[in-house]
Amino acid sequence: MTKYKLEYIWLDGYTPVPNLRGKTQIKEFAEFPTLEQLPLWGFDGSSTNQAEGRSSDCVLKPVALYPDPARTNGILVMCEVMMPDGVTPHESNSRATILDDEDAWFGFEQEYFFYKDGRPLGFPESGYPAPQGPYYTGVGYKNVGDVARQIVEEHLDLCLAAGINHEGINAEVAKGQWEFQIFGKGSKKAADQIWMARYLLLRLTEKYGIDIEFHCKPLGDTDWNGSGMHCNFSTKYMREVGGKAYFEALMAQFDKNLMDHIAVYGPDNDKRLTGKHETAPWNKFSYGVADRGASIRVPHSFVKNDYKGYLEDRRPNSQGDPYQIASQVLKTISQVSTAAVSAAA
Quick check: 190 and 180 in contact, CB under 8 A? no
Count of residues engaged in binding ligand ADP, rule: CB under 6 A = 15
* Nearer to Mn ion (CB atom), residue 178 or residue 247: 178
**Angle formed at CA 172 by CA 266 and CA 287, multiple of 5 degrees:** 55
* Residues 135-174: x where in contact with ligand ADP by CB under 6 A, - otherwise, as a string: --------------------------------xx------
How many beta carbons lie within 10 A of that of residue 319, not counting itself?
23
- Site membership for ligand ADP, residue 234 (CB under 6 A): yes
- Site membership for ligand ADP, residue 233 (CB under 6 A): yes
Quick check: 137 and 171 in contact, CB under 8 A? yes
- Site membership for ligand ADP, residue 181 (CB under 6 A): yes
Quick check: 3 and 73 in contact, CB under 8 A? yes
Q: What share of the chain is helix, strand, coil (3-state, %, to 5)?
A: 30, 30, 45
CB contact burial 137-160 (16+ within 10 A = b; e otherwise)? eeeeeebbbeebeebbebbbebbe
Taking the alpha carbons at both ends of the chain, their separation in whole angstroms is 62
Q: Could you tell me where the DSSP H helices lie in 43-146?
A: 141-144
Nearest to 178 by CA among 204, 91, 162: 204
As measured in angstroms, the least distance from the Cβ of 78 to Mn ion is: 24
- Site membership for ligand ADP, residue 237 (CB under 6 A): no
Backbone angles phi, psi at 191, to 5 degrees: -70, -40
* Nearer to Mn ion (CB atom), residue 179 or residue 192: 179
Region 245-274 residues binding ligand ADP, contact defined as CB under 6 A? none
272 binds, among Mn ion, ligand ADP, none (CB under 5 to 8 A by kind): none
Applying CB under 5 A, which of residues 80, 109, 192, 313 lies at the interface with Mn ion? 109
316 binds, among Mn ion, ligand ADP, none (CB under 5 to 8 A by kind): none
105 binds, among Mn ion, ligand ADP, none (CB under 5 to 8 A by kind): ligand ADP
DSSP 317: B
Nearest to 287 by CA among 316, 246, 251, 330: 251
Taking CB positions, which residue lies at the least distance from Mn ion? 230
Region 170-229 residues binding Mn ion, contact defined as CB under 5 A? 179
* Residues 11-50: x where in contact with ligand ADP by CB under 6 A, - otherwise, as a string: ----------------------------------------
- Site membership for ligand ADP, residue 105 (CB under 6 A): yes
* Nearer to ligand ADP (CB atom), residue 128 or residue 136: 136
Residues that bind ligand ADP (CB under 6 A): 105-107, 109, 167-168, 181, 183, 230, 232-234, 309-310, 312
